[in-house]
């Protein structure tokens, strides 16, 4: 059992003094870990990570879904390193910018042009800017059932954490529901001629029903708006051609990031020339300032992305993600069924990108029970705030994980029967989306 988090705790205290939230990403913050748990990771290899106290874990967070091949994955790291030795940023584009664009467009056949950024938000912001410029409209429609689209005001203004954002921004974002065409029609009817585009993930936990994506696109076009798919997560998990290939839908623009560079910072806005060219220099319309930053095309990051995409093309990464995810899901759900708590703990969602539920005795999602479950996982050497597999998760990893989760669920069941306070050490983890601390 892992019990020593001394270095983690010292570093966490220090970090909270000098970094707001104790981390540079909210979901990695000091309030996101059980008290008895690692707060800082030192290194990772494949599917395993080591914390600053030397404890080893099988990991299922994988860089917030950005690491699909595995940590410190040699073909990617070596490609980036080789490129760094040639220099990383020049006063003119390097050839690798073109090579990376060609590799990308070879994978995602619907797209005619692509522009790279550093974060997913660069790409979704860019897509909305083009849609607004193209249509001359200010409002956007976002899917209310999808948890995150951007760090920018058009999205954060709609969350409980909207302090510091002018109230007027909220009025520019309308919402609709997934698999609910009527809600899209209603949104357009309530804001006639005002909505520039809709943005949604192609799939989250449930698949699109009855050709929902193509029908949603039709409604957009009927209303003079563009249809944008956010493939940040699905792009490098569902299929080598993204979820758009799986569901045979041809978006006006789509956005990618996360796994595209196996953890290196790269994102992409891709789409039809008719729209994308507004960000360029070969048209006679008003110019759009599209995704242009100092570090926008660091050459070693593009090398990492090319190596990642080539690895996908030469190996059945997608097949492995689906297969290992399926084994994990089946193993865990069988164990929770045997313990009679399948209505409390279960793995749900697509095999290649699942999440687990942690419900209380009343069947409601519970932060205290989530924290207890994570606490018991950590003790047993699992770092598992989510259930994300990578190409590096072996059969041994999966069966060891299922065994350990079985033992963690025995404690979970005891806490359901005897009260959680007896088993949970310290406060529960907090949701990121809250108005006050
Ligand atoms: C679906 C989706 N879109 C956009 C983003 C924003 O990406 P980033 O955090 O890289 O800016 C995220 C991030 O979690 C996401 O999950």
Mean pLDDT of 222-227: 98
Mean pLDDT of 301-318: 98
The DSSP 8-state label assigned to residue 25 in this structure reads S
How much is the pLDDT for 416?
98
Distance 156 CA to ligand 1 centre (A): 12
Mean pLDDT of 14-24: 94
Which tens digit of pLDDT belongs to each residue from 148-157?
Answer: 999 999 999 9
Confidence band of 19 (pLDDT split at 50, 70, 90): very high
Q: Which of 127, 258, 264, 266 to mutate to test the pocket of ligand 1 (most atoms within 8 A of CB)?
A: 258
Name the percent of the chain lying above pLDDT 70.
100
Closest Cα to atom 13, ligand 1: which residue?
148
Mean pLDDT of the chain: 97
Which tens digit of pLDDT belongs to each residue from 234-278?
Answer: 999 999 999 999 999 999 999 999 999 999 999 999 999 999 999
Closest Cα to atom 8, ligand 1: which residue?
120
CA dihedral over 29, 300, 233, 43, signed as positive or negative? negative
Distance 417 CA to ligand 1 centre (A): 38
Nearest by Cα to 58 from 406, 411, 389: 389
Which residues does 44 contact at the CB level (< 8 Å), separation at least 6? 50, 59, 71, 72
Question: How many C-beta atoms lie closer than 10 Å to residue 207's C-beta?
Answer: 13
How much is the pLDDT for 245?
98
DSSP 342-394: TTTEEEES-GGGBEEEEB-TTS-B-HHHHHHHHHHHHHTTEE-SSB---TT--
How much is the pLDDT for 59?
98
How much is the pLDDT for 287?
96
Answering whether pTM is above 0.95, one says: yes
The helix/strand/coil state of 64 is helix
355 forms bridges with which residues in the sheet?
Answer: 348
Mean pLDDT of 303-332: 98
pLDDT at 100 over 90: yes
Measured from the CA of 258, which atom of ligand 1 is nearest? 10
CB 230 within 8 A of CB 244: no
CB 229 within 8 A of CB 174: no
Distance 216 CA to ligand 1 centre (A): 22
Distance 198 CA to ligand 1 centre (A): 16
How much is the pLDDT for 366?
97
pLDDT at 5 over 90: yes
Confidence band of 88 (pLDDT split at 50, 70, 90): very high
pLDDT at 338 over 90: yes
Which residues does 139 contact at the CB level (< 8 Å), separation at least 6? 172, 173, 174, 191, 194, 195, 196
Distance 384 CA to ligand 1 centre (A): 20
Confidence band of 14 (pLDDT split at 50, 70, 90): very high
pLDDT at 430 over 90: no
Closest Cα to atom 9, ligand 1: which residue?
120
Containing H/E element for 406?
helix 395-418
How much is the pLDDT for 354?
95
Measured torsion, CA atoms of residues 83, 87, 89, 95, in degrees rounded to the nearest 10: -50
Measured from the CA of 122, which atom of ligand 1 is nearest? 11
Angle ∠(338,342,348) on CA atoms, nearest 5: 125
Which residues does 11 contact at the CB level (< 8 Å), separation at least 6? 39, 40, 52
Nearest by Cα to 228 from 248, 253, 247, 246: 253
State the burial class of residue 26 (Cβ atoms within 10 Å of its Cβ: 0-12, 13-18, 19+): middle
Distance 120 CA to ligand 1 centre (A): 5
CB 381 within 8 A of CB 4: no
pLDDT at 433 over 90: no
Distance 121 CA to ligand 1 centre (A): 6
Closest Cα to atom 16, ligand 1: which residue?
148
Confidence band of 431 (pLDDT split at 50, 70, 90): confident
Confidence band of 63 (pLDDT split at 50, 70, 90): very high
Distance 164 CA to ligand 1 centre (A): 20
Which tens digit of pLDDT belongs to each residue from 160-178?
Answer: 999 999 999 999 999 999 9
Closest Cα to atom 4, ligand 1: which residue?
149
Cα(58)–Cα(36) distance, rounded to whole angstroms?
Answer: 17
Distance 148 CA to ligand 1 centre (A): 6
Measured from the CA of 146, which atom of ligand 1 is nearest? 1
Which tens digit of pLDDT belongs to each residue from 379-404?
Answer: 999 999 999 999 999 999 999 999 99
The helix/strand/coil state of 139 is strand
Q: Which of 64, 68, 116, 150 to mutate to test the pocket of ligand 1 (most atoms within 8 A of CB)?
A: 150
Residue ranges around ligand 1 (CB below 6 Å) = 119-121, 124, 148-151, 201, 230, 232-233, 257
Strand 173-176 with 139-143, pairing:
parallel
The helix/strand/coil state of 72 is coil
Q: Which of 144, 147, 149, 259 to mutate to test the pocket of ligand 1 (most atoms within 8 A of CB)?
A: 149
């Amino acid at each position: 059992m892992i019990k020593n988090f001394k270095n983690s705790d010292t570093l966490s205290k220090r970090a909270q003094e000098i970094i707001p939230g104790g981390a540079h990403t909210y979901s990695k913050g000091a309030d996101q870990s059980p008290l008895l748990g690692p707060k800082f990771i030192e290194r990772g290899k494949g599917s395993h990570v080591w914390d600053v106290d030397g404890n080893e874990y099988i990991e299922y967070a994988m860089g917030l879904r950005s690491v699909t091949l595995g940590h410190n994955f040699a073909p990617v790291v070596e490609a980036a390193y080789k490129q760094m030795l040639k220099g990383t940023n020049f006063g003119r584009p390097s050839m690798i910018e073109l090579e990376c664009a060609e590799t990308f467009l070879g994978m995602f056949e619907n797209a005619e042009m692509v522009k790279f950024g550093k974060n997913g938000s660069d790409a979704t912001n860019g897509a909305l800017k083009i849609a607004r410029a193209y249509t001359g409209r200010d409002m956007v429609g976002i899917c209310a059932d999808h948890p995150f689209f951007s760090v920018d005001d058009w999205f954060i203004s709609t969350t409980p954490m909207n302090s510091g954002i002018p109230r007027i921004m909220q009025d520019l974002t309308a919402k609709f529901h997934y698999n609910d065409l009527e809600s899209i029609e209603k949104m357009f009817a309530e804001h006639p001629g005002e909505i520039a585009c809709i943005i949604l993930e192609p799939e989250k936990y449930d698949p699109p029903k009855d050709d929902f994506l193509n029908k949603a696109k039709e409604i957009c076009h009927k209303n003079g708006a563009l249809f944008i798919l956010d493939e940040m997560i699905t792009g490098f998990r569902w299929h080598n051609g993204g979820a758009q290939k799986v569901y045979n839908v041809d978006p006006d623009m789509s956005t990618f990031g996360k796994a595209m560079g196996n953890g290196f910072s790269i994102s992409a806005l891709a789409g039809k020339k008719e729209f994308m060219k507004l960000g360029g220099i070969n048209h006679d319309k008003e110019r759009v300032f599209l995704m242009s930053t100092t570090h926008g095309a660091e050459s070693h990051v593009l090398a990492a992305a090319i190596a990642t995409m080539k690895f996908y093309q030469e190996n059945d990464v997608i097949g492995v993600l689906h297969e290992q995810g399926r084994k994990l899901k089946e193993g865990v759900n069988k164990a929770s069924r045997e313990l009679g708590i399948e209505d409390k703990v279960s793995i749900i969602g697509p095999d290649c990108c699942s999440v687990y539920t942690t419900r209380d005795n009343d069947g409601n999602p519970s932060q205290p029970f989530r924290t207890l479950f994570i606490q018991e996982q950590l003790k047993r050497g699992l770092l598992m705030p989510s259930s994300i597999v990578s190409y590096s998760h072996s059969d041994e990893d999966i069966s060891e994980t299922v065994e350990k989760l079985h033992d963690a669920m025995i404690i979970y069941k005891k806490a359901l029967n005897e009260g959680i306070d007896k088993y949970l050490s310290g406060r529960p983890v907090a949701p990121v989306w809250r108005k006050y601390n």
